[in-house]
Amino acid sequence: MTTTTESSSLSTEWLQTLELGYAGVATPSFSNNKCFHCNIPLTTPKQCSQCHVATYCSKECQIQDWKQRHKKYCAAYQRIDAQGRWNTPDDDSAHARHHVLHQIRLYAMPYAVYQMQALGRGFLFIQSTQTLAALTLPGRNRSVLLHYLTLGEYDAEVCRDDFELTAVRTCLQKAVNDYDAQQQMVVLMRFRCGHVAVGIIPLSLEFAVCLQLGKEYYQNVTAGALELQLDDD
């Protein structure tokens, strides 16, 4: 399914979304039969009555976790069921994309601007081995992989191996041709669940600042990709 939407909350324009629905993708489970606070195996778990995802070995652990961590994140867990699927009447994918971009913006935007100066107009290809839903939840070991690509590289290196992504090629080309490089960047996002999105994102820092930070961070980096963590703590 392909949809075209526009969001004004962050002055971000989502031009196209696509659900590839990858078959055989295991949905991450957050019911791991361990206490969310002390991490010991559970026999008779006590469940958070609000999100129904967090589980505990005792009332004491539940109280301590609420004070230290879960109070902050319970609302996020309420959007997702124990199998990592959306638990809300409406698809929260737009909110989730904004969450991911917000988490990585201070490193991703300088990276995109710096690479654009060297390679020319292109876009940031953001991928993850985790589902989009899973990336919205607090926790460790959440990451995304970034590549800056020109359209030529996209055709030669991505579409050649993943023909399904040619479905966004026309939209991506228009975005790359039209975006204001001094104020915006183009992103293509793909997640393990098969959710794909093309958007034009405003730079949250001035172009000159992004360029300077990009030089400081990445001028000595020789790797063709950048991995960024989304960990909250």
Chain segment 77-90, per-residue pLDDT in tens: 887 766 666 766 55
Q: How far is CA 75 from each of CA 54, 63, 132, 174, rounded to the nearest angstrom?
A: 11, 16, 17, 37
Tokens of 163: 């023909």
Both structure tokens of 42: 């559970």
Kindly report, residue by residue over 137-173, the tens digit of the pLDDT. 776 678 999 999 999 999 999 998 889 999 999 999 9
As a whole number, the mean pLDDT across the chain is 86
For the chain, domain boundaries:
2-26+91-229, 31-79
What is the reported pLDDT for 85?
66
- The closest alpha carbon to 158, from 229, 225, 227, belongs to 225
Q: Which residues contact 179 (CB under 8 A, 6 or more apart)?
A: 121, 185, 186, 200
Report how far residue 213's alpha carbon sits from residue 207's, in angstroms, rounded to the nearest whole number: 10
Gap between the Cα atoms of 16 and 2, Å rounded: 7
